[in-house]
């Protein structure tokens, strides 16, 4: 327990997490009225069947994400816990307090094959609450001790707190640490990701990681028509990624499914009513994806980037995004379908299969 003030509600139960029992629930005055539900999970390693995205295992210490991105695909997984995908996803954060110890035990099994483990596939591993729990150093230490490659995706430069660990690991293990930067446009950023750290600071983090010799790329996702997909908005990210010596750059068009669709359309109505008719057309009749020609248009500024290993536009560019990078089934959708995730999912140079 990291706060002195606490509220214990042992009668609360959350389906889908460990035995469903909440160890304790409390809010933190400095955390904007967010409730944290500490639970004991049954396992730390989550197996993702198929392996088509370049990773077969994920670890997620949190459910819900206080970064509160309007488009977040992980929102729907909160409904598995009997929370809603809107405000609850942002304000009712489940903390699996025993993840580091579980992970150490699971990685120590003789059956563990040291396959790539992806972090950041469901919710952001460096969201605000990680600054209090400090799970990541323990998770990284466990992975390193088990000689297990790792790939991380986050929107927070808090990861630089652990840069020495990443540097040390990357000397003898495939390690890929990637930053999601959908936009540098101040208005678009504030409107779509109200509680994320500055996008410019995320790109600075990429530069620092690269200076330390750590594989680090930039994911521009989701690209949303009329919000952040104008090439004039995207180009500065590309320029900064290149200056930072990023090893990967990719982009993915927005897709909307189930509860995420409802949340996003409610957000449009509140923040960008001018775009409502356009989105109703783009995602008509419950479509999760835009039509291919529109997807192509939306991702035009990033098409081709990251595909240029050995002579490309990014000097250290790695292999193309798994799943084609734009359109098609994306890892987050597959993970959400599997009940294990929802937000941008990293794989990476660790497996020669960068983000998506």
Q: Which residues of this protein are in contact with ligand SF4, per CB under 6 A? A: 65, 67-69, 72, 74, 123-124, 155, 343
At its nearest, how many Å lie between ligand SF4 and the CB of residue 93? Answer: 10
At its nearest, how many Å lie between ligand SF4 and the CB of residue 187? Answer: 18
Question: Which distant-in-sequence residues (6+ apart) come within 8 Å of 299 by Cβ?
Answer: 223, 229, 251, 252, 253, 325, 326, 327
Cβ distance to ligand SF4 smaller for residue 124 or 185: 124
Cβ distance to ligand SF4 smaller for residue 155 or 318: 155
Residue pointed to by tokens 């819900």 = 64
Cβ distance to ligand SF4 smaller for residue 83 or 107: 83
At its nearest, how many Å lie between ligand SF4 and the CB of residue 10? Answer: 28
Separation CA 337–CA 107 (nearest Å): 25
Cβ distance to ligand SF4 smaller for residue 24 or 86: 86
Structure tokens at 21: 């029992």
Cβ distance to ligand SF4 smaller for residue 197 or 320: 197
Structure tokens at 144: 């390193």
Question: Which distant-in-sequence residues (6+ apart) come within 8 Å of 186 by Cβ?
Answer: none
Question: Is residue 219 within 8 Å of 252, Cβ to Cβ?
Answer: yes
At its nearest, how many Å lie between ligand SF4 and the CB of residue 90? Answer: 7
Cβ distance to ligand SF4 smaller for residue 122 or 298: 122
At its nearest, how many Å lie between ligand SF4 and the CB of residue 277? Answer: 25
At its nearest, how many Å lie between ligand SF4 and the CB of residue 74? Answer: 5
With 0-12 / 13-18 / 19 or more C-beta atoms within 10 angstroms meaning exposed / middle / buried, residue 11 is exposed
Look at residues 119, 89, 124, 268 and name the one whose alpha carbon lies nearest to residue 196. 124
Separation CA 111–CA 57 (nearest Å): 14
Q: How far is CA 167 from the centre of its chain?
A: 21
At its nearest, how many Å lie between ligand SF4 and the CB of residue 4? Answer: 27
Angle at 282 between CA 52 and CA 90, to 5 degrees: 65
Q: How far is CA 350 from the centre of its chain?
A: 17
At its nearest, how many Å lie between ligand SF4 and the CB of residue 197? Answer: 10
Question: Is residue 348 within 8 Å of 215, Cβ to Cβ?
Answer: yes
Cβ distance to ligand SF4 smaller for residue 102 or 153: 153
Cβ distance to ligand SF4 smaller for residue 155 or 261: 155
Q: Within 10 Å of residue 126's Cβ, how many Cβ atoms?
A: 27
């Amino acid at each position: 327990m990291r706060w002195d003030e606490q509220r214990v509600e042992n009668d609360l139960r959350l389906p889908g997490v460990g035995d469903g029992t909440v160890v304790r629930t409390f809010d933190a005055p400095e955390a904007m009225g967010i409730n944290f539900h500490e639970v004991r999970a049954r396992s730390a390693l989550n197996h993702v069947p198929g392996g088509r995205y370049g990773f077969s295992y994920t670890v997620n210490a949190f459910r819900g994400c206080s970064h509160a991105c309007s488009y977040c695909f992980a929102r729907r997984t909160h409904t598995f816990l009997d929370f809603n995908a809107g405000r609850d996803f942002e304000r009712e954060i489940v903390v699996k307090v025993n993840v580091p110890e579980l992970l150490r035990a699971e990685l120590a099994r003789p059956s563990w094959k040291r396959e790539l483990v992806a972090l950041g596939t469901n919710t952001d591993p460096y969201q605000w609450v990680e600054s209090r729990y400090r799970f990541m150093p323990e998770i990284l230490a466990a992975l390193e001790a088990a000689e297990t490659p790792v790939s991380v995706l986050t929107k927070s430069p808090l990861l630089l707190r652990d840069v020495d660990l990443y540097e040390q690991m990357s000397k003898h293990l495939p390690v890929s640490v990637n930053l999601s930067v959908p936009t540098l446009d101040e208005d678009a950023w504030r409107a779509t990701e109200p509680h994320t750290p500055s996008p410019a600071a995320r790109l600075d983090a990429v530069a620092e990681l690269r200076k330390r010799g750590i594989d680090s790329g930039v994911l521009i996702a989701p690209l949303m028509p009329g919000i952040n997909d104008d090439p004039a908005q995207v180009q500065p990210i590309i320029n900064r990624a290149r200056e930072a010596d990023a090893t990967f750059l990719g982009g993915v068009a927005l897709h909307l499914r189930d509860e995420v669709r409802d949340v996003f359309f409610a957000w449009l109505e509140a923040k960008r009513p001018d775009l409502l008719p356009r989105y109703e057309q783009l995602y008509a009749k419950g479509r999760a994806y835009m039509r291919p020609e529109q997807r192509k248009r939306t991702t035009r500024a990033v098409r081709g980037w990251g595909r240029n290993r050995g002579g490309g536009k990014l000097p250290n560019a790695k292999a193309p995004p798994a799943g084609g990078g734009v359109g098609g089934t994306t890892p987050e959708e597959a993970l959400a379908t599997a009940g294990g995730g929802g937000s941008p999912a990293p794989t990476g140079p660790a497996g020669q299969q960068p983000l998506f």
